[in-house]
Amino acid sequence: MAEKKNRRFGKKLAVAIICGVLCGAVLAGGPMGYSFLKSRIDQKKEENGKRTEEPLPSKEETVETTEQITEPEGARIASVYDVSVVWDNVIPAMVVIDTKQIETYDFFGHVYEEESEGSGTGIIIGQSDELFLVTNHHVIDGATAIQITFVDGSTAPAVVKGSNAKEDIAVLSVDFSDLDEETLKKIRVATIGDSDALTGGEMVIAIGNAAGGGQSLTVGYVSAVDREVEIEGVSMKLIQTDAAINPGNSGGALLNAKGELIGINNAKLVATKVEGVGYSIPVSNVLSLINRLVNREEIPYEDSAVLGIEGKDVTESLSAALNIPRGVYISAYTKDSAAEEAGIPLYSVITEVNDMEVETMEQLKEVLGYIRGGSEGTVTVQERVEGEYVPREYTITFDRKGE
C-alpha cells in the first residue's frame, strides 16, 4: 500500500455534502460550514418552485468556502438512454461495508459467543477533518469492527459517527490518515438530489453491494412515492421501486436519471414472496437527521446527559388501547433528578428531546448520548390535562451520567 497521507486531505472543510458526482467532484476544496446540504436543497427547491420550510442545522462556528470544487476533465453527462454514464460518475462515491459482530447463544443454560460477519453498502456524502459515509443503521448495528472498501479496492477502518434506529440511518467516518494519496484521487462525494420532486413512473437506478458480491447496478421505475411500510412496529414513508434491491444493497444509492442521490436503499424491507418491490428511504426526509449525526459532538459516555427518570415504552398497541400518545411514559423519578427539577410531571409521555423525536427508551438513551451533561435543552411531553393529552415543552438542565 502506498505511503499513508499524514496530513489532512486538502484544507479542512466543515461539511459541504453537496459536492457533485455529476460534476465529478474529487475530494478537495476549502473550508466550509457544516450546513452541508442546505445550499443544494435550497437550489433544488427553487428549481421546482418550492421553498425549504426549515433551515438545516449547522455548527455555530462556520467559515465560508475559499475554493470551489471544479469539474474534472472527462466528466460525462447522464441521459436516460445511457446509464453507464451514471455508473461512471457515481461508482467512485460508493463503498462496500464489511462488519464483524459477536453473536451470543444460550444452549441449555450455557452461553456461547461466536463471531459473525455482515456486509452492506455505503455512500460517500462529505468531508471535513474526516470522510463521511451514510448507510442503514441495521448494517452496522452491533458491529464490533467496520471495514470500508473503496472503488480502487483499498480498505480502511470506519467508526460510527452517529446512528438512528427508527429512521434506519447511520453515518460513519473514516480518518484521512488511513487513506492513500491514490485512493483520494479516485473517490468522490455523491450529489444530493431532491426526493420531494419525485413522481411515479420516473426512471431510477440502484447501485449497491448485492449479495455481498461487489457493486452492481439495476434499473427500474418509481412505483410509488410516500409508500407507508411498517417493519418491526415502526412505520416509514418510503419510495417504492421495481429496481432490484437485494440483500447487501442495504445502505446503497437510489439515483435519478441525472445520477443524483434521491434515496438510501433498504434491503431489510424486501419481501421474499413478492417480486419487483423494493424500498428506499427518501433522502430529503433524512437530510436534517444526517446533518445532526455528522455534526454530533463526540461525548464520552460518562459526560453524556441523563434525565433521571424511569420510563416505559408506549407501544402502538398500548397507545391504541389506552388512548395514550406514543413515547416514553414517565413512571418514576430518581431523587433530585433533572426532569423533576425542570417540573416535568410524573406520568406524562416524553415525545421529543432537543427537537429530536423519541418513542422508546432505547431512542431516548440514543438521543441523550448526543447531549453533554450539564447543558441546557428542551424536553417535549404529552401531559394529561382534564382528560386530554396536550403537548408542553420544558426547559431542562441535563444531569451528567458520571455523577
What domains are defined for the chain?
1-296 (2.40.10.120), 301-400 (2.30.42.10)
What residues have CB less than 8 Å from 296, skipping those under 6 apart?
Answer: 161, 162, 370
8 vs 226, higher pLDDT: 226
Rounded Cα gap, residues 185 and 146, in angstroms: 23
Distances (CA, A) of 240 to 10, 127, 199, 243, 279: 39, 30, 11, 9, 5
Judged against a pLDDT cut of 60, whether residue 337 lies above it is answered with: yes
Count of residues for the chain? 403
Lowest mean pLDDT among 74-83, 136-145, 208-217, 299-308: 74-83
pLDDT at 233: 65
pLDDT at 274: 63
pLDDT at 273: 62
Q: Which H or E run contains 41?
A: helix 38-47
Grid coordinates representing 170? 447511520
Judged against a pLDDT cut of 70, whether residue 323 lies above it is answered with: yes
The residues carrying an active-site annotation are 138, 168, 250
Percent above pLDDT 90 for the chain = 51
32 vs 253, higher pLDDT: 253
Judged against a pLDDT cut of 50, whether residue 284 lies above it is answered with: yes
DSSP conformation letters of 321-373: HHT--SEEEEEEE-TT-HHHHTTPPTT-EEEEETTEE--SHHHHHHHHTTSBT
Judged against a pLDDT cut of 80, whether residue 329 lies above it is answered with: yes
Rounded Cα gap, residues 99 and 135, in angstroms: 13
Q: CB neighbours (10 Å) of residue 391?
A: 12
What residues have CB less than 8 Å from 48, skipping those under 6 apart?
Answer: 194, 196, 197
pLDDT at 356: 83
> The dihedral of CA 161, 100, 167, 150: what is its sign?
positive
Grid coordinates representing 401? 451520567
pLDDT at 280: 94
Grid coordinates representing 114? 461466536
For residues 384 and 378, the answer to whether their CB atoms sit within 8 Å is no
162 vs 376, higher pLDDT: 376
pLDDT at 261: 96
Judged against a pLDDT cut of 70, whether residue 377 lies above it is answered with: yes
Judged against a pLDDT cut of 70, whether residue 27 lies above it is answered with: no
Rounded Cα gap, residues 212 and 251, in angstroms: 12
- CB half-sphere exposure, 99, CA atoms < 13 A: 23
Rounded Cα gap, residues 124 and 116, in angstroms: 26
80 vs 182, higher pLDDT: 182
